[in-house]
Structure 1
Amino acid sequence: MLPLVAIVLALVVSAVILEVVSYRALERIPSVATEEFPEIDRELLGKFSSFDPELGWVPQPNREKQKDTGDHLPGEEVRTTVTYSTDEYASRVCPAKERDPDADIRVSTYGDSYCFCREVDNDETFQNYLAQELDTHVANYGGGNYGLDQALMRLKRQYPDDPTDHVFMVVTASSIARILSVWKHYQEFGNILAVKPRYVLEDGDLERVESPVDEKEELLDLESKADFLREYDFHYDHWFKPHFATRPYTADFLEKNEHLRYAGYTAGKELERRLSRSIPGIDFDLAQTQSALRLEQPRVRYHERLFDTHEDLFDALIQEFVDYADKQDFEPTFVMVQQLRYAKYESEHGPIYGDLLDRLDERYDDLTTIDMATHLSPDDGDVESLYVERGEGGHYSPETNAAIAQVLAGVVEQRAVVE
């Protein structure tokens, strides 16, 4: 009898240990949610310097930050950092040319982190290269994790203080998901500080739903706003709940082989950190990044479906951009750029946004559209070569930003000829 009891006890203990290990592993896998309302402590809140009650968050004026790109191995000195600097307008600085309100051509850009040009220095942004091409200052009002909605909101707030002749709206295809979001955590698990306003369509008209957070301190108790967040964030029902891990966690962890691979690469990186040296034979950082990209593929397909089901909202936001351009008398250009996870998928399946740009071209005579993917396709098909090699992964390299500047300069010069 005792041996049987011992066996049962050992099995129970093993099951408990496996359950705990599985939960801890799932916590670190980016495609799995383990908590609906993770704790936000005051130390984390204090670091959220970009909080903005109107937009959710926004770059602050006259700031300079240095960011470690991660382009080094454990134990090595940091070889590469990038510098992000903003001016008094909270635009990223443009070293090539100072702002001149009397310039013959004035240009500004709005959009997401691809507009801001994350992971490269101030003088390696496409805005800086564009300023060199046009011999004029180019304002950079990109915001990390912005969708078309927040970019449009920032345009309306900023433009009266910094009017320009040309406005480029530069976003990635993930905007289709971001415009349906109120709390980023419901679609980008772990992005727990990002609460934002959004637009909804009411009888065909855009209606703005304000952020439920007026003061930064309110982020400490987001659970009290659960009903609002669940109602207005489309992803709560359609993405968060289907990817929410529940007991038994072991089953969720073992459900996909990629979970095991990602956990293994993460463990390898942790071991290298503790040993303060790299382990020969495998680049755990690169392997983890590639595993994360594979885990991201279902999200890309999800976004592809959103372009079919919510194109009306996206089109209405473009209409608002065009109407605002007409009201303020500037030339509007909409630019679609690609995140790495989309570029790899679209190289095989075509653009997830379908015929969006063709539809916009047919509908708006005064709007110029650019599908940057058609201008940046490498001859050898190696789309990864367009992006920084390491770091956060997925933003354009300085060389690609220079190529983007050439395309945008062509738009400005073409309009000058037409006028």
Structure 2
Amino acid sequence: MTAIYLLPVIVLIVLLVLEALACLMVRWLRKDFQWLITPQDLHPRLDEAKVRRFFEHGADPELGWVRKPNTGGTKKGSSASGITYIINGEGARKNPGFEHLSPVLLAVGDSYTFGRQVSDNQTWPHFVSRELNVNTLNFGVGNYGLDQALLFVKRQLPGKDVKVVIFGVVPETICRVQSYWKHYCEYGNTFAFKPRYTLNGSGRLALQLNPVNTVERFMDYRRYLPHINSMDRFYREKFLKDMLRFPYLYHLIRSAKRNVPLIAMLLHGKMSSDPRINKRPFRKVLERNHRISARLYRDKASLDLMEALVTEGARFVRVNGAQPVLCILPQLQDIQIMRNKGVFYETFLERIRNVADVIDLGPHILELPSTKEYYTDDMWGGHPSVKANQLIGSVVSDAVRHLL
């Protein structure tokens, strides 16, 4: 009888010890890896000094963030000397050699349009200017979704006599347009509060304004979380499911597909000085994020929203006397997925081909024997290199030439 009663006690003690070890291990690893999320990430502390700097240099009450006019800098980039960028008085990136011309094309979108890893004279909008001998306004902003690009066009296009507006976005934009606080999709991106569009009962777009758009609201952001959480699908579908919390053993088992390999890689990294090994955990995070975005291209609600955004963008551009073009710029992880499973966003393209002109760089990149020289090796999974931007510029130029 004693042994019968003793066994549950031993099992309980073992479980308590394992639970304590799991808790300590997760907290230890979390210190150096923001993508291993715990309850502290539900309400991360925002440093007021950093918030004020953000508002001085990049925040925008309506759009979330922008490239502010008359700014610039030098960043670590694809060349040893780094990359330089200059933002002009309108908020567009400098276009060396063409700024004396009246703008004919306007490009909006994310960091693939801005040219995060190249200098001003190496972006694809600049190469379009070279090929067509026209001035192209580059209004790309890092981490923008198609929704923010649409709002940016509504702000910038009226009054401009441009002939073509190009929305240049990565396929992952399907996630970005459904995000209200990027932290729930890109863990640790805590300053990225943004507006988003939803579809009402009749299928019409409804703009949800950026709820956290002042320094004061940033410092009191918890007040707005109930509304944000109800409007951001990733809060429940991704963030809460990935969170490791008490009981840690249960949540480790529940999220084993994501978190167990991640923890194993992090532990391996702690025992190694090899930078390739230390990069593996974040690459694992990126790969999963891209699988999620690829899966959303099979989700009707996501496709309906994307189609509505393209339709509204095309309508607004045409009302203002220009022609709309959607340019899909696959990331390196997208290309890897497509090599194995085909073009996962093809259904979306079929739905919008009659709405706007479409340029898909996917087939052009897939036919390359190697992508090594076309994507830079940065921590964000690679951005277009100078060679890639030359290719994009050539493809875009050929596609829009007849619209000028």
Alpha-carbon offset, residue 83 of structure 1: 1.5
1:74 is aligned to none
Alpha-carbon offset, residue 17 of structure 1: 5.9
Matched AA of 2:365: L
Alpha-carbon offset, residue 47 of structure 1: 3.0
Structure 2 vs 1, CA of residues 10 and 33 (structure 1 numbering), >3 Å: closer, same or farther?
closer
Is the contact made by 1:31 and 1:296 (CA closer than 8 Å) also made in structure 2? no
1:23 is aligned to 27
Among 356, 359, 371, the residue aligned to 2:360: 371
Structure 2 vs 1, CA of residues 159 and 268 (structure 1 numbering), >3 Å: closer, same or farther?
farther
Among 245, 260, 284, the residue aligned to 1:294: 284
Among 382, 398, 401, the residue aligned to 1:410: 398
Is the contact made by 1:67 and 1:82 (CA closer than 8 Å) also made in structure 2? yes
Alpha-carbon offset, residue 251 of structure 1: 6.7
Structure 2 vs 1, CA of residues 196 and 303 (structure 1 numbering), >3 Å: closer, same or farther?
same
Alpha-carbon offset, residue 291 of structure 1: 3.9
2:8 is aligned to none
Structure 2 vs 1, CA of residues 266 and 107 (structure 1 numbering), >3 Å: closer, same or farther?
farther
Structure 2 vs 1, CA of residues 161 and 61 (structure 1 numbering), >3 Å: closer, same or farther?
farther
Deviation track 1:221-275 (CA, whole Å, cap 9, x = no partner) reads 2111111111111211111111111124467669455324531465368xxxxxx
SS of the residue corresponding to residue 348 of structure 1 reads helix
1:51 is aligned to 59
Are 1:215 and 2:205 counterparts? no
Cα distance in 2 for partners of 1:369, 1:9 equals 62
Is the contact made by 1:26 and 1:253 (CA closer than 8 Å) also made in structure 2? no
Among 270, 280, 284, the residue aligned to 1:267: 270
2:179 is aligned to 181
1:276 is aligned to none
1:139 is aligned to 137
Alpha-carbon offset, residue 401 of structure 1: 0.2
- The count of aligned residue pairs is 382
1:359 is aligned to 351
Q: TM-score, length-normalised on structure 2?
A: 0.86
Among 128, 137, 155, the residue aligned to 2:153: 155
Cα distance in 2 for partners of 1:113, 1:390 equals 13
Alpha-carbon offset, residue 314 of structure 1: 0.6
Alpha-carbon offset, residue 378 of structure 1: 4.7
Runs of 5+ unmatched residues, structure 2: 1-11
SS of the residue corresponding to residue 220 of structure 2 reads helix
Matched AA of 2:97: A
Are 1:393 and 2:381 counterparts? yes
Matched AA of 2:114: F
Is the contact made by 2:19 and 2:248 (CA closer than 8 Å) also made in structure 1? no
Cα distance in 2 for partners of 1:401, 1:301 equals 25
2:236 is aligned to 237
Among 106, 109, 120, the residue aligned to 1:108: 106
1:75 is aligned to none
1:199 is aligned to 197
Aligned ranges 1:77-92 → 2 under 5 Å? 79-92=80-93
Q: Which moved more, 1:383-392 or 1:83-92?
A: 383-392
Alpha-carbon offset, residue 359 of structure 1: 2.3
Cα distance in 1 for partners of 2:64, 2:43 equals 18
Is the contact made by 1:344 and 1:383 (CA closer than 8 Å) also made in structure 2? no
Cα distance in 1 for partners of 2:228, 2:175 equals 15
Structure 2 vs 1, CA of residues 110 and 319 (structure 1 numbering), >3 Å: closer, same or farther?
same
SS of the residue corresponding to residue 151 of structure 1 reads helix
Structure 2 vs 1, CA of residues 211 and 141 (structure 1 numbering), >3 Å: closer, same or farther?
same
Alpha-carbon offset, residue 85 of structure 1: 1.4
Among 316, 320, 333, the residue aligned to 1:324: 316
SS of the residue corresponding to residue 301 of structure 1 reads helix
Is the contact made by 1:69 and 1:392 (CA closer than 8 Å) also made in structure 2? no
Structure 2 vs 1, CA of residues 120 and 313 (structure 1 numbering), >3 Å: closer, same or farther?
same
1:272 is aligned to none
SS of the residue corresponding to residue 107 of structure 2 reads strand
Cα distance in 1 for partners of 2:221, 2:313 equals 32
Q: What's the C-alpha RMSD, in Å, of the aligned pairs?
A: 2.6
Alpha-carbon offset, residue 39 of structure 1: 0.5
Is the contact made by 2:163 and 2:403 (CA closer than 8 Å) also made in structure 1? no
Cα distance in 2 for partners of 1:178, 1:376 equals 23
Structure 2 vs 1, CA of residues 151 and 305 (structure 1 numbering), >3 Å: closer, same or farther?
same
Q: Which moved more, 1:307-316 or 1:296-305?
A: 296-305
Cα distance in 1 for partners of 2:15, 2:43 equals 32
